[in-house]
Structure 1
Amino acid sequence: MLLPIFCLLAQASAQKQLDWWETTVFYQIYPRSFKDSNGDGIGDLNGITSQLEYLKELGIGATWLSPIFKSPMYDFGYDISDFYAIQDEYGTMEDFGNLLAKAKELDIKIILDFVPNHGSNESVWFEEALKGHEKYYDYFMWEDGVVDENGNLQPPNNWVSVFRKSAWEYREEVGKYYLHQFVIGQPDLNYRNPVVVEEMKNVIRFWLDKGVAGFRVDAINHLFEVDKELFGGKYPDEPRTGDEDPDSYGYVDHIYTRDQDETYDMVYQWRDVLDEYKASDGFTRVMMTEAYASPQLTMRYFGEGDRLGSQMPFNFALISNVNGKSSANEIKYAIDQFLTFKPVDKLANWVAGNHDQSRVASRYSPELVDGMNMIVLLLPGIAVTYMGEEIGMVDGFVSWEDTVDPSGCNTDDPINYVQSSRDPERTPFQWSADKNAGFSTADKTWLPVADGYETLNVEVQRNTDRSHLNVYKSLVQLRGELAFTHGRYESVALNSDVFAFRRWYNGENYVVVVNFREEQFTVDLTYFENVVGDLEVTVSNIQSPKAKGTIVQADRLEIFGSESLVLKVK
């Protein structure tokens, strides 16, 4: 008996102690659409505070809030006019303090959206710049225009905004153009100015002092532009791509306005600020960075050499690389990519939806909601859920008349705008079958509530045994098992339609199987080592005829169309 006891002790001592952010589930809230507390049709901080118990019910340990800062709302908070203040329609600093206090009571961490690339053209900084205030003039990116053959002043070069059309806007007050990589109301900040660098570090410190647990950093790979001094003091044109629409972001290859080397160093500097706080109290503040970039560039955000960076460079493979039409082989390839490229001592992260992307139920299918949640929550690494994915919310229909997203409005196209608009995935959260899905008592909400909310909502699913919500809760609870917190991983496309992966640690051994098609198959799971004999259904999707506790055979598992299963080896 001595040998087994010794082995168990050795295994226990070798078991890595994980930090809070390494095991929790991060839940993204789009504040404008989560819960309205005062009946104005717009979600707010007090609404979030009132529903923190719901997050606790789900098993969520941290919530990331999309921007809540002072803003004219041209891009709904991503155009910040005061980085040190709360937007009035969301509440007050006192409301934010109450939110933090309630979250602390429930042991839920609050993560804020940090939008460092740009400010607002209605900020004091920009207004002072237009008055010729030298300090604030240098906060932004200015350039002389060029005169064409007809004597007309034109933008400095061919740079195009993410939201279409020229990335330059002329201001008569200073006789120059300012750069805006996003909407006109979002002038880019000048990170070659050390005063700006220190200002933005002070923004980080201000909110850390309030008690937030970290930041999700928006559009990080746009932070720096090429140093124009390398081109004789003039920003160069970007090379053409072959796209024939000069207003389209795809018209040029953004080699001078994205993914510049200096960007990574700035992330490392921000990590130093976060770690200053950890050094004083032992509590880790986290950074999540958003960059739609190649795996090679994404990995640089983790850090280089002895410099530390983001703990979570967002992995968008399940958003950008695959969808409901993808084969199981493509799903496996998309998942394996991040695991292959990431440093061995860093954690992967998984996210299938956010406020900029069509919802999982619409991009994959309503039948695959549970299967995708199984993948996001049970793969090795950190899990992120966009609000509503736990109940299978679908994209809402937002008419041209109701469209407010600048990405859709800037198309000037009442027919095809929906292809660019992000409004459908931002429709109000569906709490109940009451008026406006229980989101608001207002006569009109800022975006219309999606059709079908009467049956697709939290209240209905709470009271239904087999519901997306209850499957999600089961998965979050299962995620705490050692096989998922510390376990190894391997995966296989059993055929072109069925994807499976195994998680195991010591004696615990689980297999997750997801059928991406409506066709029924018989599959052999003994491909996986030590997966033989009886397997017990631990979690099944709501369409599955297999209840929890059902015993199936590893070598001849019948998996029905769109069925998803978590199986435990007996």
Structure 2
Amino acid sequence: MLPSIFFIGCLATLSLQGVQSKYSALDWWQTSIFYQIYPRSFKDVNGDGIGDLKGIMHKMGYLKQLGVGAIWLSPIYKSPMVDFGYDISDYRDIEPVFGTITDFNNLLAEAKAKKIKLVLDFVPNHSSNEHIWFQRSVEKIQPYADYYIWKDAKVINGERHPPNNWLSCFGGSAWEWNDKRQQYYYHAFAVQQPDLNYRNPAVVEEMKNVLRYWIEKGVDGFRMDAVPFVFESTNLEDEPLAGDYKEHEPTDHDYLEHTLTVDQPETFDLIYQFRELLDGYKLLDGYTRVMMTECYSPLDKMMRYFGNSTRRGAHFPFNFLPIERLSRQSNAKDFANTIMEWETKKPKDAWGNWVIGNHDQKRAASRFDAEFIDGLHMMTLLLPGTAITYNGDELGMEDSFIRWDQTVDPQAINVGPKRYQAFSRDFPRSPFQWDSSPNAGFTTNLYSWLPCSTPTTGTRI
């Protein structure tokens, strides 16, 4: 049986016909349901327990039946997989665990044949420490010496200390000492994810060239990951304590108020530059490449990612208000207030969007209730704007329980067994439940990279 999102999608299509009478020139990204695929967990074809590109291609018929207009793939680039693809060692190649560039080309062709757009995750903030740029930066080989953020140690009583108190999102200091270079490098996330230095124009051009490479291969746009972290202040003072710092451990990212490391003014300009690049291609062929930005930022700052009076930014920053503000404790008034806050705060001519789940948050069916899922999807599909859904949410999939000894998320591992459940992103990343067979039809392997939760009765798809 097809999930109800398919039928709701038909309702959305009908409603869009009415919208089009008012807005006669809606673009593809405004009329499409966006469906996020976490490739490691979607479908394993080669039997190694990890999802792959051939698995996505194998299920393209399912996506077409759902009424999906665009798929967004979490990172598939070459990576040591410390942060499961968000630590990239080659922006122009495919990670072998997912397949080959030929597999990607075949998937892209199949998507186009089914009239489904394909959007890639783009990770501008950092690379892997195994990237050739970082290895050459350590050696101070030009032009790579300043591709990353290097600072001298602070010496107190003859002892070496990090330059300041800045903290990593994954816990602990955001500075890591490198013996070879005899300096600290900055990492907003894992130690193995050094931040790129966007104050170096060569880095900006390198990353623009990566965008050009994938556009010219035929992709339909990008979801920009973690954009608020792209710039840090040149002021190396300590960041102040957060207002609720007593509720956190001193090593937790939320222990500090991030006045110098998040949503810096230069970040918005970089996003505007990326939009200009994408729009340059549209001037050539009349076709829009979409740009969506991930930013869990205060609304006033989030709205700046749309652009300003003279320059365009993202087609839309993800609207995370339903994730951040609503839960099973929320009532109808809470929903209405959340919707109206977004609608009244966004720029007059900006296009809206609605997100109820993704790979970093507890699943919607766990945060709300499985019985709420159909209603939540109906709400996001019928509200003005683009609907984005996370693979498995259309089934009402709930979080899998992952024991501490099964945990692989570096953010959870860093806080230890007593607190890992509050920090782990493994729970919503468990494999897709295709049916009630062993390992939920996700893999033929005895084991999957994360434990599967198999539906107890019947066939779901």
**What's the TM-score once normalised by structure 2's chain length?**
0.93
Amino acid at match of 2:326: V
List aligned pairs for 1:62-101, cutoff 5 A. Answer: 62-101=70-109
Amino acid at match of 1:421: S
Tell me whether 1:157 sits opposite 2:161 in the alignment: no
Question: Aligned partners of 1:322, 1:152: CA distance in 2, in Å?
Answer: 47
Tell me whether 1:455 sits opposite 2:457 in the alignment: yes
Amino acid at match of 2:444: T
Question: Aligned partners of 2:72, 2:456: CA distance in 1, in Å?
Answer: 27
1:415, distance to aligned residue in structure 2 (A): 3.0
Could you give the per-residue CA deviations for residues 73-97 of structure 1, whole angstroms, max 9, x where no partner exists? 1100001111111101000000000
SS at match of 2:300: helix
Question: Aligned partners of 2:411, 2:421: CA distance in 1, in Å?
Answer: 9
SS at match of 1:390: helix
Question: Aligned partners of 1:12, 1:27: CA distance in 2, in Å?
Answer: 22
Question: Aligned partners of 2:132, 2:149: CA distance in 1, in Å?
Answer: 16
**Partner of residue 361 from structure 1, selected from 351, 354, 365:** 365
Tell me whether 1:103 sits opposite 2:125 in the alignment: no
Could you give the per-residue CA deviations for residues 200-255 of structure 1, whole angstroms, max 9, x where no partner exists? 00000000011000000000010111134xxxxxx111112252522111121110
Could you give the per-residue CA deviations for residues 473-497 of structure 1, whole angstroms, max 9, x where no partner exists? xxxxxxxxxxxxxxxxxxxxxxxxx
**Partner of residue 427 from structure 1, selected from 430, 436, 439:** 430
Tell me whether 1:240 sits opposite 2:236 in the alignment: no
- When residues 454 and 255 of structure 1 are mapped into structure 2, their CA distance, relative to the original with a 3 A threshold, is same
Amino acid at match of 1:410: N
Is the contact made by 1:295 and 1:337 (CA closer than 8 Å) also made in structure 2?
no
1:12, distance to aligned residue in structure 2 (A): 8.7
- When residues 14 and 403 of structure 1 are mapped into structure 2, their CA distance, relative to the original with a 3 A threshold, is closer
Could you give the per-residue CA deviations for residues 104-124 of structure 1, whole angstroms, max 9, x where no partner exists? 000000000000000011111
Please name the residue that 1:445 is paired with.
Answer: 448
Is the contact made by 2:434 and 2:441 (CA closer than 8 Å) also made in structure 1?
yes
SS at match of 1:255: coil
SS at match of 2:394: coil
Please name the residue that 1:320 is paired with.
Answer: 324
Please name the residue that 1:39 is paired with.
Answer: 47
Number of equivalent positions: 440
Amino acid at match of 1:449: C
| Larger strand share, 1 or 2 | 1
- When residues 15 and 175 of structure 1 are mapped into structure 2, their CA distance, relative to the original with a 3 A threshold, is closer
Larger Rg: 1
Is the contact made by 2:436 and 2:460 (CA closer than 8 Å) also made in structure 1?
no
For structure 2, the residue ranges without an aligned partner over 5 or more in a row are 1-18
Is the contact made by 2:232 and 2:260 (CA closer than 8 Å) also made in structure 1?
yes
Amino acid at match of 2:240: P
SS at match of 1:268: helix
Question: Aligned partners of 1:106, 1:182: CA distance in 2, in Å?
Answer: 37
SS at match of 1:195: helix
Tell me whether 1:125 sits opposite 2:171 in the alignment: no
Is the contact made by 1:432 and 1:454 (CA closer than 8 Å) also made in structure 2?
no
**Partner of residue 214 from structure 2, selected from 207, 210, 217:** 207
Question: Aligned partners of 1:58, 1:102: CA distance in 2, in Å?
Answer: 16
- When residues 15 and 408 of structure 1 are mapped into structure 2, their CA distance, relative to the original with a 3 A threshold, is closer
- When residues 247 and 15 of structure 1 are mapped into structure 2, their CA distance, relative to the original with a 3 A threshold, is closer
Question: Aligned partners of 2:89, 2:172: CA distance in 1, in Å?
Answer: 23
Please name the residue that 2:147 is paired with.
Answer: 139
Please name the residue that 2:354 is paired with.
Answer: 350
SS at match of 2:405: coil
SS at match of 1:267: helix
Please name the residue that 1:507 is paired with.
Answer: none
Is the contact made by 2:435 and 2:460 (CA closer than 8 Å) also made in structure 1?
no
Amino acid at match of 2:428: E
**What's the TM-score once normalised by structure 1's chain length?**
0.76
SS at match of 1:376: helix
Provide the identity percentage. 52
Amino acid at match of 2:431: P
Please name the residue that 2:266 is paired with.
Answer: 262
Could you give the per-residue CA deviations for residues 405-450 of structure 1, whole angstroms, max 9, x where no partner exists? 01110002x2331110000000000101122111111111000002
Is the contact made by 2:175 and 2:187 (CA closer than 8 Å) also made in structure 1?
yes
Question: Aligned partners of 2:341, 2:89: CA distance in 1, in Å?
Answer: 39
Q: CA RMSD in A?
A: 1.4
SS at match of 1:89: coil
Question: Aligned partners of 2:101, 2:110: CA distance in 1, in Å?
Answer: 14
Amino acid at match of 2:239: E
Is the contact made by 1:145 and 1:154 (CA closer than 8 Å) also made in structure 2?
yes
Please name the residue that 1:191 is paired with.
Answer: 198
Question: Aligned partners of 2:34, 2:426: CA distance in 1, in Å?
Answer: 22
1:13, distance to aligned residue in structure 2 (A): 7.5
Tell me whether 1:172 sits opposite 2:179 in the alignment: yes
Is the contact made by 1:434 and 1:454 (CA closer than 8 Å) also made in structure 2?
no
Amino acid at match of 1:186: Q
SS at match of 1:83: strand
Amino acid at match of 1:277: Y
Amino acid at match of 2:118: I
Is the contact made by 1:67 and 1:112 (CA closer than 8 Å) also made in structure 2?
yes
| Larger helix share, 1 or 2 | 2
Amino acid at match of 2:109: A
SS at match of 2:137: helix
- When residues 12 and 47 of structure 1 are mapped into structure 2, their CA distance, relative to the original with a 3 A threshold, is closer
